[in-house]
Amino acid sequence: MSFTKFFNKKYLNIAPYDTAGEHLELERFIKLNTNESPFAPSPLAIEYAARAAANLNLYSDPDCTQLVNKLAASLEVEPENILCGNGSDEILNFIFAAFCDETQGAAFPDITYSFYKVLAEFHGVNYVTPELDAEFKINLDDYIYNRRTSFIVNPNAPTGLLLSLDDIERVLSSNPDNVVAIDEAYIDFADSSASAVKLINKYNNLIVVQTFSKSRSLAGGRLGFAAAHADLIRDLKAIKNSLAPYNINSMTQAAAIGALEDKNYFDNNINLIKEARAFTVESLKSLGFNMTNSQANFIFAGHEKISGQKLFDELRAKNILVRHFAKPDRINNFIRVTIGSMSDMKIFVNAVQEILNKND
């Protein structure tokens, strides 16, 4: 990248997140590339957000008091255990700022959410990226007593594979002097007992990160949160109040309260995604695809008769957007496909079938 002569020297090596191609003319495409929900936000979320718009002349509540109280109640923790962020990306940024630098290093898998690398580079953090094993599983030994700040996405992206809470506890208990962040962006699509939130008062080094962008249909509202021991939340809040005190706008705070109150809508949407995921997995299996056992709202699939790039290109020609990662090499034959509505997934499966027939 090149910058002007005015650009801060300490940022000359940054590698910004590449969002190219994520925002195209939406009407033309079935959008299965960024793990959003295919469903609109809850009607209650929309109603509350619209009501909040009338007060946009006033600053938003910097502590998100009402929302934090609701979230704490729904997670069965205390309000002092929660901090809201402008998307979970902002929470991850706060965690890097608070708990990593050139001497306190970071660790995250070679194949995981690519924003970790962006943040590590931005903050000048010394980081390692241990390889996933041949089946794309995390090798736990890489995180046991590793003396780094560890970031584990659970279920991981783009593989969808879930680590057990026993494994997470082994990482936590072996690293009492280091923070362990468990990024649960996709946890609502896994079994209901999989979340590490219940461990935050047992381990004072644990931060659980969640988002309203996926299961709660609020990606455009930008809301994520950290759940952790009150002392860790205090550290993160100090960073938040130094960078972006009013980080969550009033409409988003209101929308999120509506989304939390509308539990039936949430439960129903999760069930619809799980049904569409099961349909997609079965259909692709019968077409000869290899797949990981994804517990998320996406699947990770490859076929020996067609490259990941070709499949991506041919789907795009049919106005279906999926995600293809060229690097590292061992995943370049795979595509990551967000689970949309059942009708989206039927169109997707038919398209894949046509592409395979044509290339036979």
Helices 250-261, 263-286: axis angle to 10 degrees equals: 80
- Token pair listed for 159: 């593989």
* Residues 122-161 close enough to bind ligand PMP by CB under 6 A: 153, 157
Find the shortest distance in angstroms from Cβ 36 to ligand PMP.
9
Q: Rule CB under 6 A: is residue 213 a binding residue for ligand PMP? A: yes
Q: Rule CB under 6 A: is residue 36 a binding residue for ligand PMP? A: no
Q: Binding mask 314-353 vs ligand PMP (x if CB under 6 A, - otherwise)?
A: ----------------------------------------
* Residues 96-125 close enough to bind ligand PMP by CB under 6 A: 113
Q: Of these, 33, 149, 154, 211, which contacts ligand PMP (CB under 6 A)?
A: 211
Find the shortest distance in angstroms from Cβ 13 to ligand PMP.
23
Our CA dihedral for 134, 135, 140, 146, rounded to 10 degrees, sits at 40
- Token pair listed for 92: 């991850």
Minimum CB distance to ligand PMP smaller for 224 or for 308: 224
Question: For ligand PMP, how many residues bind (rule: CB under 6 A)?
Answer: 12
* Residues 158-187 close enough to bind ligand PMP by CB under 6 A: 183, 185
Q: Rule CB under 6 A: is residue 87 a binding residue for ligand PMP? A: yes
Find the shortest distance in angstroms from Cβ 222 to ligand PMP.
7
* Residues 224-243 close enough to bind ligand PMP by CB under 6 A: 224
Our CA dihedral for 305, 309, 311, 315, rounded to 10 degrees, sits at -170
Find the shortest distance in angstroms from Cβ 317 to ligand PMP.
25
Handedness of CA 17, 21, 25, 29 (dihedral sign): negative
Distances (CA, A) of 154 to 5, 33, 126, 257: 41, 19, 23, 25
Rounded to whole angstroms, the Cα distance separating 223 from 154 reads 18
- Please provide the distance, in angstroms rounded to a whole number, between the alpha carbons at the two ends of the chain: 41
What are the two backbone dihedrals, phi and then psi, of residue 164, each rounded to the nearest 5 degrees?
-80, 160
Q: How many residues does the chain have?
A: 360
Place of tokens 């309203």: 212
Find the shortest distance in angstroms from Cβ 291 to ligand PMP.
18
Within 8 A by CB and 6+ apart from 216, the residues are: 37, 41, 42, 45, 188, 256, 259, 260, 266
Minimum CB distance to ligand PMP smaller for 87 or for 340: 87
Q: Rule CB under 6 A: is residue 195 a binding residue for ligand PMP? A: no
Find the shortest distance in angstroms from Cβ 292 to ligand PMP.
15
Rounded to whole angstroms, the Cα distance separating 55 from 251 reads 9
Asked whether 72 and 52 are in contact (CB, 8 A), the reply is: no
Find the shortest distance in angstroms from Cβ 156 to ligand PMP.
8
Find the shortest distance in angstroms from Cβ 183 to ligand PMP.
5
Minimum CB distance to ligand PMP smaller for 41 or for 224: 224
Minimum CB distance to ligand PMP smaller for 301 or for 352: 301
Binding site for ligand PMP (CB under 6 A): 87-89, 113, 153, 157, 183, 185, 211, 213, 219, 224
